[in-house]
Amino acid sequence: MPCSIRAIRAAVHDGTLGRDDARHLLTDGQVADGDDQFWDVQALRRAHVVRIVSASAIECQPLGGGEWITVATHLLLHEAGLALIRLTLDPSAHGTTIDMPQLAGFSDAVWQNQRMVWRVALADHRWELDADVRRVMDAVMLPLHERFCGRQPDIFALRQLETPEERYQWLDERVDAGESLSAYPQTFGTAYELVWDTHTSEQESLRSVAELAYGTRLDARESALLTPAETGYGHDWFIGENRAVLALAGGRDRSALDTFDALRTQTLEYLTLQRAALRAVQRATQLTITERRTINRKQLQEWQRLVAALTDEYVLHDQVATVLRPLRKHMAENPLLRDPDTLAMQVRQNLGTFQDLIEAASHRVAIFLSGLFGVVAAITLAPLAHEIELAIFQTGGSVSGFNDRHIVLSIGVDVLLLLVVAAMSFGLIARTNRLRWPKR
C-alpha cells in the first residue's frame, strides 16, 4: 500500500502510536514492539517502523461455508512511505480442517477467482463483504489512507467502490493530489505454513506441497528452496511467483507475528515491501516514458530515495540475511519465477536515464547562461547601452552628460535589462527541472 509519506512519518514519530491512535486505525489495535517485530535492525532502532496488531478487526467464513474464523490483522508502517497489510488465518485454532484443494482455493481468492464472506470492523464502522481477499485489503487500506491524510473516511462512499477499476481511479486522484505514491497496491500472494505430526508424514506430502507452491507438477526434491540437509532446519520451504509454502513437522507454538516461523515471515515481509517499492517506481517511470509525461528533479529524487531505502540488504538481521541469500539464488535460477534483481536493475536503469537527461539539460543551460551573463556584463560596462539610450530618447549630448542629467532613467534601463536576463535564466532553469521524454 503506497500512501502519504508525511502521514507515515507522523504515525511512526518516536517509534510508537498511542493506544487510542492504534484503535483509530484498527479495531482493538495494539502497538507491537520488541526485537522480533521487524527484519531491519536499523529501522527498528531508529523508529522508522511501527507494527499495529488486531485480533478482531476481520473475520471470514472459509470456502464452502462453516464457522466464522478470526483473522489476525498486522499493519506495518514504514517511514519510507509504505504500509504493509498482512491477514493471517489459522483454521486449526477453530477446529477447522482444510485439505490441499481448499488451500489452492484460498490462493485463488487473492486473485479474484474465489469469493468469501468477510466481516470487517474498522474503528466504529462494521460491514459484511462477499468478496475476494484483495477487496478486503482495500476495505482496510482506503479508510486507512483517509485517516492518514487527516480526514474522516466516508465509509458509505468507499463501500461503493466495488470494482478494482473504481478503486484504482479513486487512488489515481490521490496520486495526482500528492497524497499517494501509486494507485496500484502490490501483493505477494499467499504464504502457507503447513504442520504435520511427524517428519515422515511431512515427507509423504511434499509433492502436493510443491504443486501448491508452483501451481504445476514438480519433483519436490528438485523444486524445494531449502532442504533440511542444507540448513539444519527440519522443514522444507517452497517459493513460487506469488505463493510460498513452508512445510513443518512436529508440535510448535505460534510466534508473536501470528505465524509458526517468524524468521521466514519477516523475510517475506521484507521482500513484499521491497517489491512494492520497486514496482511503484517502475509503474511511475514506465508511465512517464510511455505517455511522455513531465518529470521534475524533486520527483526523481523521491523515487531514488524510496528505492535506496528499501533495497539495502546489509541492514537486515543476520538471520534474515542468511535465509535471503539462498532465496535470491533460488529466484534467479528457477524458470517459474521472475528474478527480483531484474526488476531492480530495470528501475535503476530508468532512474539513471532520467538523471542523465536532467543533468545534460542542466549542463546545456549552464553554458548558455554563462555566455548570456558575459554579454550582459560587457554591455553594461561598455557605453553601447547608453548610446542606444541616447538614440531612443533623442536627448543629444554625450554619454556622460546623459548619465548626469537622467541618472534615474539610466539606472532604470540597466535594471530592466537585468530583469529580462533574470527572467530568461529562471525560465531556462525551471525547464531543466521539469522535462519530458524526448520525441523520436
* 186 has pLDDT over 60: yes
Contact present, 68 and 121 (Cβ < 8 Å): no
CA atoms in the 13 A half-sphere facing the CB of 161:
22
- The pLDDT value recorded for residue 379 is 61
> Where is average pLDDT lowest: 13-22, 69-78, 206-215, 272-281?
13-22
Place of cell 489476525: 72
- Residue 224 pLDDT level (bands cut at 50, 70, 90): very low
CA distances from 163 to 134, 136, 155, 347 (A): 11, 12, 16, 29
- How many CB atoms sit inside 10 A of residue 34's CB? 9
* 248 has pLDDT over 50: yes
**CA 93, CA 109: separation in Å to the nearest integer?**
21
Query: How confident is the model over 301-349, as pLDDT tens digits?
Result: 888 888 888 888 888 887 787 788 888 888 887 777 788 888 899 999 9
DSSP characters over 113-172: SS-EEEEEEETTEEEEEEE-HHHHHHHHHHHHHHHHTT----HHHHHT--SHHHHHHHHH
364 phi/psi in degrees, rounded to 5: -65, -40
- The pLDDT value recorded for residue 247 is 83
Q: Which three cell numbers stand for residue 157?
A: 462512499
- Residue 28 pLDDT level (bands cut at 50, 70, 90): confident
- The pLDDT value recorded for residue 188 is 81
Query: How confident is the model over 121-170, as pLDDT tens digits?
Result: 876 778 888 888 888 888 888 888 887 777 788 888 888 888 888 888 88
Query: How confident is the model over 51-90, as pLDDT tens digits?
Result: 888 888 898 887 667 778 888 889 888 878 788 899 998 8
Query: How confident is the model over 83-129, as pLDDT tens digits?
Result: 889 999 887 776 666 777 777 777 777 776 677 888 888 767 788 88
**What 8-state DSSP symbol labels residue 396?**
-
> How is the chain split into domains, by residue range?
5-174, 265-348, 354-436
- The pLDDT value recorded for residue 229 is 37
Helix, strand, or coil (residue 247): strand
- The pLDDT value recorded for residue 78 is 83
Contact present, 32 and 52 (Cβ < 8 Å): yes
Residue in 165, 155, 333, 170 with CA at minimum distance from that of residue 239:
333
**CA 68, CA 62: separation in Å to the nearest integer?**
8
The model carries a pTM of 0.78
Positive or negative, the Cα torsion across 315, 319, 321, 327? negative
- The pLDDT value recorded for residue 391 is 61
